[in-house]
Structure 1
Amino acid sequence: MALRGRFDGPEPEVGAGLTRRMLVASGLLALVVGAAFTVLLVTNSDLRESEQLAFHSEEALVAANRLERLVVDVEAGERGFLVTGQDSSLTLWRSGQAALPGQAASLARMVADNPQQLAVANQIARDTASYVQDYSIPLIATARRNLAAARTPAAVDDGVRRIDAIRREFDRFTAAEQDQAAARQDNSAAVALRAFVATAVGLGGSVLLIVLFTVYLSRAIVGPVRRAAGMAGRLAGGDLTARLPERGVGEIGVLERSFNTMAGSLQVSRAELAASRARIVAAGDQARRRIERDLHDGIQQRLVSLTLELRTAEATASPELRAQLTEIAGDLIDATDDLRELSRGIHPAILSEGGLPPALRALARRSVVPVELEVDVPARAPEPIEVAAYYVVSEALTNTAKHAEATIAWIDVHVRNGVLRLSVRDDGVGGAAASHGSGLVGLIDRVQALDGTVEITSPPGEGTTVLVHLPTERY
């Protein structure tokens, strides 16, 4: 009989569902992180641009302020000259007059990208140039000639009018630039808020996806792998009924089905092996019983008949022949006893005829070591169970007599809840092990073939205990 040691049916096809899901999840995570970083880069660029525009507005305001101070310097210089008439008062006037064109041009360059502000800056440049060329220089020239003529109300009012017009242009330029600066500041705040929101959303989304991905990996891979490892441990421990729930996706599902198929195949193989061992043991017992019956009914009966015939011949023989026949008859009786003992070792007839209790009592009587026997088997156990229990006790008593140096042995046999429990103990030297002899190994094989268990406890100096459990309900 061939035992199935491999999987039946075609090889399972390994899917790629789990791989696809992991790729999709990884791609989604990379997409969210990439989008968040892209938004951050864009917002950072907008922030830098807003900061540059704000700085540019500050520079334009500083340049306009400088130009306005130069106009004030020119006005103050000319007024000082009109009051004192001293040429030293024109120092500030001359320096302001010389710097005005360059500062006006610098202001125009700063706002060249803003047409409205450029128009105002150009107007300021024209007004300041007109003030210097058309009013201030001619006024100073008139004052040099006639100081009183330069101090007339008409001359003073013309200067005030021109200065007020220039100041209005400066106020207009400054107000517009401040409005632009405020708008740019608001835009910078909005950009910063978007950057914060994008960062928070990207970070939160990334954390959420990582948590979900971790949970998914734990449920889809880590959990099933741990269950598979636990099942492998149970299989290694001999529990071939262990199975995995086939709920996995893709490759994990294939792994679970493969594990279950393997466990099923091993379970079937073990069942077939156990059945084969039981059949072998049963066949061996039947053969031993047949041999014992043949010996008892054949050779043993033949020897008994021969002995009787010799006794008959002995009665009618001469004295010399009678002595020889008596000796031969004695030898035949001894041979019959040896054959009877041999047949009992092959298979005890008392076990087949009376069951386990009388057979164990016979073993106890023949034992070299004194035995205390307790048997509680209300009904006949199945024949394989009785035979196994008998030979366990026989082998244990033989080992006790040969190796244990014991003074007494205790035998306890009872049946509870469909299990025959057999215990053989002695007070010998201990140290027994199944690996030390073929007798115990054979008994273990016989018991295990019947789905039973054997436990041997034999610490040195504390005696030996052989404990056997045999199920009786399956037969």
Structure 2
Amino acid sequence: MWRGLTARTVVASGLLALVVGSAFAVLLTSVTQLRADDRRALRAQEVLVTANHLERLVVDMETGQRGYLLTGREELLQPWEAAGASFGDEARTLEQLVADNPEQQARAERIAAEGDAYLRDYSVPLVAQARRDRSAVRTLPEVEEGRRRVDVLRAEFDQFLATERRLAEARQDGSEAAANRAVFAAVAGLAGSVLFVVVFAGYLHRVIVAPVRQVAATAGRLAAGDLGSRLPERGVGEVGVLQRSFNAMAGSLEQGRDALAASRARVVAAGDQARRRIERDLHDGTQQRLVSLILALRAAEAAVPPGSPELRKQLSRAVDGLSDALEELRELSRGIHPAILSEGGLRPALRALARRSAVPVDLAVDVPARLPEQVEVGAYYVVSEALANAAKHADASVVEVEARLAAGRLHLSVRDDGTGGADPGRGSGLVGLADRVHALGGTLSVTSPVGSGTTLVVDLPATER
């Protein structure tokens, strides 16, 4: 079953679906990864913004504190107070943003812890002490401690930001790789699909379209009468079955045609034999009896006494009537099967037809030897029927008859200069002639344009069948 076209089409369609589906799967996966990378990139931006803002808060705390310690101006503590109030919330936000990365989350927690320690253990006590005695903190070691703590925080921020930038670069590389995979999948899927469709279309043309065209061409030749046409039985699946069935049908048609031709030939041969038998019976039986009766009546007429003139007249009329009947019978027997054809062949038989024709005949016969009997009989009746039609229907002034033997075939043509318009389907006798010619394996064609005469062309094999 897997050798059939249906199964192969299903398999090919499945392969095409697999190629397209694989390409779309890779494309969909790449698009999903790109969307995830976009979300991570947005979060990375937010992380960087939050980290930078948190670092700025540390800087604001340190500069506001230092400015107050140097000048004693309370307004310089406003950035310090705002930064201290916001630092905790910003630090927790940063921890939440990097919760999916343990390393960055640990750094964010250290930044938050060190920043809280800086405020709680150093900056707030130092500002409180400076408010009580500003001159006492200008030379305290705590000032240097503040610088050290800020440097530690800044180092943590530098590491955090550097790590986040590396992660962003890695994400960017992953996004570019995913984009390249998506482009490759789309191009490869499209190219593979087009290539597969082209290959499959070529395969379908080779195994379906071309054989079907061949079937159509062979069917046309079969319809034109070439029943020997056959198809090569190399088709795949159902096409092979079609080819074998077509050849079987053509073989059956050819056998039927041969059987029909043989049957028609037997019918024609039987008819000719019956004609010869009837002609022989008429010639040897009825005609001879009529001749004997005529002679007997002539003798009786001669023996009538001179005193019986009336009886002599009656016998004379009877003799004349029998003579007319004998002549009509002879003419009838010539139409049934002319003895001259059997005795002398086609050339003298055609000459006899030309002499008896009601229309002048220009006869040209080039048949140097006797032909098979059925061929001579067929040719004789073709010419006889054509001459009868020319006399009855064509209103012709002359008829040209040509018969010649060439390459084992007898070629006959009968042309008249009459009115034309002959139609073989209107019972002109041409249908019977066509049947006889075809039964002998020959061909017959009629050309009869209105007003231009009629031409009858016959081609017969001059061999025994």
Common topology (TM > 0.5): yes
Aligned mate of 1:460, from 436, 450, 453: 450
Unpaired segments of 5 or more residues in structure 1? 1-13
In 1, the alpha carbon distance for the partners of 2:87 and 2:150 equals: 14
Report Cα offsets for 1:182-238 as digits up to 9, x if no partner: 122222222222223333332232222222221222222222222222222222222
CA distance in 1 between counterparts of 2:190 and 2:207 reads: 25
From 70, 81, 89, the equivalent of 1:83 is 70
Match of 1:51 among 38, 47, 55: 38
Instruction: Give, in angstroms, the shift of residue 74 of structure 1.
Output: 1.1
Instruction: State the Cα distance separating 1:124 from its structure 2 match.
Output: 0.8
Q: Percent identity?
A: 60
1:309, distance to aligned residue in structure 2 (A): 2.8
Is the 2:351–2:363 Cα contact (8 Å) retained in structure 1?
yes
SS in 2 for 1:243: coil
The alpha carbon displacement at 1:78 in A equals: 1.5
Q: Which moved more, 1:212-221 or 1:66-75?
A: 212-221
Q: Does 1:296 align with 2:283?
A: yes
Partner of 1:374: 364
The within-5 A match list for 1:188-199 is: 188-199=175-186
Q: 2:321: which partner in 1?
A: 331
Q: Distance in 1 between matches of 2:48 and 2:3?
A: 67
Q: What amino acid does structure 1 have at the position aligned with 2:87?
A: L
The DSSP-based 3-state class of the residue aligned with 1:423 is strand
Which amino acid letter does the alignment assign opposite residue 95 of structure 2? A
Question: Deviation at 1:15?
Answer: 9.1
Contact 2:372 2:464 in 1 (8 A): no
For 2:404 and 2:428, how far apart are their aligned partners in 1? 27
Q: Which runs of 5+ in 2 are unaligned?
A: none
Q: Counterpart of 2:114 in structure 1: which amino acid?
A: D
Q: Would you say 1:355 and 2:342 are equivalent positions?
A: no
Distance 2:67 2:6 in 1: 90
Q: Which residue of 2 aligns with 1:397?
A: 387
State the alpha-carbon separation in 2 of the partners of residues 335 and 105 from structure 1. 143
Match of 2:190 in 1: 203
- Measured after TM superposition, the shift of residue 146 of structure 1 is 2.9
- Mapped contact 1:15–1:251 kept (Cα < 8 A): no
Matching residue of 1:430: 420
Residue 278 of structure 1 deviates from its aligned partner by 0.5
Q: Which residue does the alignment assign to 1:61?
A: 48
| Cα distance change on mapping 1:457 and 1:41 into 2, 3 Å | same
Are the equivalent residues in 2 in contact too, given 1:434–1:441 (CA < 8 A)? yes
Q: Give the secondary structure class of the aligned counterpart of 1:373.
A: strand
The aligned runs of 1:26-37 (5 Å cut-off) are 26-37=13-24
Q: Distance in 1 between matches of 2:272 and 2:361?
A: 26
Counterpart contact for 1:16–1:251, Cα < 8 Å: no
Distance 1:391 1:108 in 2: 119
Q: Report the alpha carbon displacement of residue 82 of structure 1 after superposing the two structures with TM.
A: 2.4
Q: What's the offset of the Cα at 1:431?
A: 1.2
Q: Does 1:176 align with 2:175?
A: no
CA distance in 2, matches of 1:216, 1:283: 57
Deviation at 1:261, TM superposition (A): 0.5
Aligned-pair CA distance for 1:83:
3.0
Residue 448 of structure 1: aligned partner? 438
Task: Measure, in 1, the Cα distance between the counterparts of 2:140 and 2:415.
Answer: 144
Where 2:429 maps in the other structure, the secondary structure is helix
Query: What per-residue deviation string (whole Å, max 9, x for no partner) do you get for residues 12-67 of structure 1?
Result: xx997222222222222222222222222222222222222222222111111000
Alignment partners' CA distance in 2, 1:408 and 1:116: 122
Alignment counterpart, residue 305 of structure 1, candidates 268, 292, 301: 292
1:429 alignment partner, SS class: coil
- Counterpart in 2 of 1:9? none
Measure, in 1, the Cα distance between the counterparts of 2:146 and 2:2: 94
Matches within 5 A, 1:257-296: 257-296=244-283
The code of the aligned residue for 2:220 comes to: G
Provide the aligned length of Structure 1 versus Structure 2. 462
Q: 2:104 aligns with which of 105, 113, 117?
A: 117
2:219 corresponds in structure 1 to 232
The one-letter code of the counterpart of 2:256 is S
1:418 to 399, 403, 408: 408
Deviation for aligned residue 1:153: 6.3
Picking from 339, 342, 345, the partner of 2:332 is 342
| 2:61–2:83 Cα contact (<8 Å) kept | yes
Confirm or deny that 1:187 pairs with 2:187.
Answer: no
Aligned partner letter, 1:411:
V
Is the Cα contact below 8 Å between 2:2 and 2:8 reproduced in 1? no
Q: How far apart in 2 are the matches of 1:373 and 1:460?
A: 24
Q: CA deviation at 1:141?
A: 2.2
3-state SS of 1:407 partner: coil
Residue 7 of structure 1 corresponds to: none
Runs of 4+ in 1 over 6 A off after TM superposition: none
174-183 or 130-139, which moves further after superposition? Answer: 130-139
- After superposition, the Cα gap between the structure-2 partners of 1:474 and 1:159, relative to the gap in structure 1 and judged at 3 Å, is farther
Distance across 2 between alignment mates of 1:348 and 1:363: 10
Tell me the secondary structure at the aligned position of residue 330 of structure 1.
helix
Q: For residue 367 of structure 1, report the CA deviation from its aligned partner.
A: 1.0
1:331-382 deviations in Å (ceiling 9; x for gaps): 2222211111110011111111111111111111111111111111111121
Higher mean displacement: 198-207 or 362-371:
198-207
Aligned-partner SS, 1:318: coil
Q: Deviations over 1:222-255 (max 9, x none)?
A: 2222222222222222211111111112222111
